[in-house]
Amino acid sequence: MSTGGPRIRILAVDDHPIVRQGIARLVGIQPDMILVGEASNGREAMQQFRTQHPDVTLMDLQMPEMNGLDALIAIRNEFPDARIIMLTTYVGDAQILRALKAGAQGYLLKNTLHKELLDRIRAVHAGRKTISADASYELTEHATDEALTQAEVRVLRLIAAGNANKEIAEQLSISEETVKGQVRNILSKLGAKDRTHAAMIGLKRGIIDA
> Residue 58 belongs to what H/E stretch?
strand 56-60
Q: Does the structure show a pLDDT above 80 at 34?
A: yes
pTM of this prediction?
0.73
**CA pair distance 173, 157, nearest whole angstrom:** 15
Quote the DSSP letter at residue 6.
P
Residues 114-137, mean pLDDT to the nearest whole number: 87
Q: Does the structure show a pLDDT above 90 at 183?
A: yes
**Distance set, CA 9 to CA 77, 137, 207 (Å):** 20, 30, 33
**CA pair distance 157, 155, nearest whole angstrom:** 5
Q: Please provide the distance, in angstroms rounded to a whole number, between the alpha carbons at the two ends of the chain.
A: 42
Per DSSP, helices labelled H in 38-149 are 42-52, 68-78, 93-101, 113-125, 133-141
- DSSP states along 136-147: HHHHHHTTTSPP
Summarised one tens digit per residue, pLDDT across range 80-108 is 999 999 998 876 778 888 888 899 999 98
Q: Does the structure show a pLDDT above 90 at 185?
A: yes
pLDDT bucket at 3, cuts 50 / 70 / 90: low
Query: Which domains does the chain show, CATH number per domain?
Result: 8-141 (3.40.50.2300), 150-204 (1.10.10.10)
